Amino acid sequence: MALVGKKAPHFVTGAVINGEEIVDNFSLDQYIGKKHVVFFFYPKDFTFVCPTEIHAFQEKLAAFKERGAIVIGCSTDTEETHLAWLNTPKEQGGIQGVTFPLVADAAKTISLNFGVLAGEYAFSADTKQWSFNGAPIAFRGTFLIDKEGIVRHESINDLPLGRNIDEYLRLIDAQLHVEKYGEVCPANWEEGEAAMKATNEGVSDYFSNN
Q: Which residues are catalytic?
A: 50
Parallel, antiparallel, or unpaired for β 13-17 and 21-26? antiparallel
Residue 204 has a CB neighbour count (10 Å cut-off) of 12
15 burial via Cβ count (<10 Å: 0-12, 13-18, 19+): buried
Classify residue 196 by its DSSP letter.
Answer: B
Q: What is the CA radius of gyration of the chain?
A: 19
Spell out the residues 6+ positions from residue 64 whose beta carbon is closer than 8 angstroms to its own.
Answer: 38, 57, 70, 71, 168, 169, 172
CA count, 13 A, side-chain hemisphere, 16: 23
* Helix and strand numbers, DSSP H then E, in the chain: 6, 9
Torsion of CA 186, 187, 189, 195, to 10 degrees: -10
